């Protein structure tokens, strides 16, 4: 509030005061005009007072107001998150459908936001529009499980693969690779393939973990049964025995 307006307000308020025992005349608690700043014909303009506080006449002190930022979900497959690329997305809004071309960086992760500048809510009084953010959600995959940038995949093994050790081809989003299975591998053991998870253009890529899963035939041939029976009679191994 500017000094001149404050002086006039103080003067008007003083004109409406009564003696020491009250707040004004019987016609109103704030003076003869029912106003805290003087009589009914006083020279204090509420617009002037508000203007001193807000930088202009009341209701005129607000400049351009930017539009609100908005969010939408973007579902991707593991392969799309790994490789990145261009996605066309159509959203339904209050003003109808809008289509967007979204550039997906390689190696995006769950919860990561992709910003489209100026595609959010409209601004007011000439203000700029807000931004639109696509929040990435990686869909469930029949083969891969995603934790951050790391990928997990089941690695089926035969009992003899697990017992004797072997090398197994593993499919990854980046192509086939081989994993070495050490002799004596049990179900649940995780074999790490470093850097084979989701890439990171600014840092270290995630890893891929192949989790051993020992499988046995549902039906045995006569020869297979004989061999397993021979192994059972010969081996002293008992996984249920306390170690």
Is 60 exceeded by the pLDDT of residue 9?
no
The pLDDT tens digits of the residues spanning 137-148 come to 999 999 999 999
Distance of alpha carbon 108 from alpha carbon 114, whole angstroms:
9
Q: Considering the entire predicted model, what is its pTM?
A: 0.69
Q: For residue 7, give every residue at least 6 positions away whose Cβ sits within 8 Å of its Cβ, in sequence order, or none.
A: none
Residue 60 covered by a domain: no
DSSP character string of 11-73: HHHHHT--STT-SS-TT-TT-TTSBTTB-TT-S--HHHHHHHHHTSSTT-----BPPPPEEEE
For 204-219, what is each residue's pLDDT tens digit?
A: 999 999 999 999 999 9
Containing structural domain, residue 80: 70-138
Domain count, the chain: 3
Torsion angles phi and psi, residue 116, rounded to 5: -115, 105
| Average pLDDT, rounded, for the chain | 83
Whether 156 and 88 map to the same domain: the answer is no
| Domain contains 65 | no
Angstrom distance (rounded) from CA 148 to CA 216: 32
Q: Of all helices (H) and strands (E), which one includes residue 223?
A: helix 222-234
3-class DSSP assignment, residue 216? coil
Distance CA 83, CA 175 (A): 11
The CATH number of the domain holding residue 216 is 2.60.260.20
15, pLDDT greater than 70? no
How far apart are alpha carbons 78 and 80 in whole angstroms?
Answer: 5
């Amino acid at each position: 509030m500017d000094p001149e307006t404050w002086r006039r307000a103080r003067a008007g308020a003083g004109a409406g005061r009564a003696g020491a025992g009250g707040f004004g005349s019987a016609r109103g608690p704030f003076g003869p005009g029912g106003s805290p700043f003087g009589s009914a014909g006083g020279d204090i303009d509420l617009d002037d007072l508000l203007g001193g506080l807000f930088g202009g006449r009341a209701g005129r002190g607000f400049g351009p107001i930017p539009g609100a930022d908005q969010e939408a979900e973007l579902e991707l497959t593991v392969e799309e998150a790994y490789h990145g690329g261009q996605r066309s997305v159509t959203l339904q809004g209050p003003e109808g459908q809008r289509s967007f071309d979204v550039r997906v960086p390689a190696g995006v992760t769950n919860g990561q936001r992709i910003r489209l500048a100026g595609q959010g809510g409209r601004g007011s009084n000439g203000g700029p529009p807000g931004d639109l953010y696509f929040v990435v959600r990686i869909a469930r995959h029949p083969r891969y499980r995603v934790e951050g940038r790391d990928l997990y995949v089941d690695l089926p093994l035969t009992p003899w693969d697990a017992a004797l050790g072997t090398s197994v081809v593993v499919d990854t989003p980046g192509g086939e690779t081989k994993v070495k299975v050490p002799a004596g591998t049990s179900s649940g053991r995780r074999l790490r393939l470093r850097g084979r998870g989701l890439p990171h253009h600014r840092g270290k890529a995630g890893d891929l973990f192949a989790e051993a899963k020992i499988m046995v035939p549902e039906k045995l041939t006569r020869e297979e049964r004989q061999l397993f029976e021979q192994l059972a009679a010969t081996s002293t191994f008992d996984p249920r025995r306390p170690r």
